[in-house]
Amino acid sequence: MSARRIAIVGAGHAGGRVAQHLIELDGTCQVLLIGDEPYAPYERPALSKAVLAGEQAWSELMLAADGFWSSHPGLVRITARVVGLDRGRRCLSLADGRQIEFDELVVAIGGAPRSLRVPGGDLPGLHVLRGIDDCDKLATTLVPGSRLLVIGAGVIGMEVAATASGLGVTVTVLDVSDQIMRRCLPAPVSQWLASQHQQVGVAFKSQVGVQSIAHDGAVYRVRVQGAGGACEVLEAEQVLLAIGIDCNTGFLQQAGIGCQNGVVVDASCRSPDTPWCYAVGDVANCDNAFYGRLMRQETWRNAENQALAVARQIAGVAQRYAEIPWMWTDQLGHNIQVVGLIDDADGHVWRGDLSQGRATMVLLRDGRVVAAVMVNQGKERKALEALIRERRVVDKSLLSDLSVSLKAVAA
């Protein structure tokens, strides 16, 4: 009997972890790890921070030593781009013409930086930040005294703004929203973080839309329009597009795999209409067993934990995926962590004083903890996660009392 062939499309963090776990859990299967980057699987969070700043080598981001990926008998690593899927034959088509047959498929393609659909939005030299090569290209341009326009005030945009300002670059951040990191942070924390950036010289242009980008060989000229209709032109030597990612699931949709905001999968991370197809990481729009709704998470921990859940499913160990979202960002010497879903809240209490740079905003709905934002208070995360998972009503006075530990409240 031949070994089961498990094809993993996407050799980044999530795909690499699935491969590692499968090899550990089922030594009889053959794992085919297919990705279009020349690098072995690696973690990405440091690319916008320590690696971009020159404080860490990208070689330190690898999930395992090179020898694991090149010589493990149960693993075949294929560097190529997947362009098609024959659902009936269970066969992948690669851009170089090869055909890869499989028994089960794991989609771990992540996402590609979203393009800016305006005149000049595809000019050569515009930066994005998704992989090692992007980081290397951007890092070489961040010289003291130069100017950087960051289009997009999400996590990547703000982390790059923090890193670049620390390198002596003059940074201006443009965004269509009225607050930075709007998807991640409640308004009070967003405003506080923006003030920290402004104190080191980062400028903001909020509620503006980019109309066009031009380049004269020396500087970029970005034309923006404000909410009131007034236009202005901003100049910089470098421009970073940080407006999110798109999940490029075209080859899957053409094969009839259900896709909507990524690959739609059930609480077992499996396609409801194609049981041999799984999805993991940024591309997985998963029916979260805790929240009872579809959720796509672009976080480090989701890549870690969902990879293990998928590997266990394939290995025959049933596990419903019930991840509570958790993300973190390090900017300007501050660590900010968010757990839960901030949009589910109808009220909040504070632990500590944010103006002092150390506080936790506990978000509630009907008296139950649904989320929390910790500013330099990461030690409270596990207790807050426990409170979110328990869904019990908690006395607000206990949550706000710094003399009472959250660990005791959660006990």
Q: What's the pLDDT tens digit per position in 354-378?
A: 999 999 999 999 999 999 999 999 9
Domains of the chain: 5-111+247-314 (3.50.50.60), 132-244 (3.50.50.60), 333-410 (3.30.390.30)
Q: How far is Cα 54 from Cα 42, in angstroms, rounded to an integer?
A: 17
Q: Give me 354's structure tokens.
A: 């944010």
Q: DSSP assignment of 130-165, as one string?
A: SSHHHHHHHHHH--TT-EEEEE--SHHHHHHHHHHH
Q: What's the rounded Cα separation, in Å, for the pair 81 and 35?
A: 6
DSSP 242-281: -S-EE---HHHHHTT--BSSSEEE-TTSEETTEEEEEE-G
For the chain, which residues score pLDDT lower than 70? Answer: 1
* Tokens of residue 233, six digits: 């032109």
Q: Which two tokens stand for residue 192?
A: 């506080």
Query: Residue 126 half-sphere exposure, CB side, CA atoms within 13 Å?
Result: 23
- Cross-strand partners of 285: 264, 296
Q: Is the pTM of this model over 0.85?
A: yes
Confirm if 52 and 135 have CB atoms less than 8 A apart.
yes
Q: Mean pLDDT score of the chain, rounded to an integer?
A: 96
How far is CA 126 from each of CA 131, 202, 207, 221, 384, rounded to the nearest angstrom? 15, 20, 22, 12, 41
Q: How far apart are CA 371 and CA 325, in angstroms?
A: 9
What would the pLDDT profile of 267-310 be if each residue is shown by its tens digit? 999 999 999 999 999 999 999 999 999 999 999 999 999 999 99
Q: What is the pLDDT of residue 318?
A: 81
User: For position 266, what pLDDT does the model report?
Assistant: 97
Q: What are 200-251's pLDDT values in tens digits?
A: 999 999 999 999 999 999 999 999 999 999 999 999 999 999 999 999 999 9
pLDDT on residue 1: 46
Residue in this structure with the two tokens 């066009």, named with its chain if needed: 212
- Whether 142 contacts 52, CB under 8 Å: yes
- The percent of residues above 90 in pLDDT, for the chain, comes to 96
User: Would you state the pLDDT for residue 27?
Assistant: 84
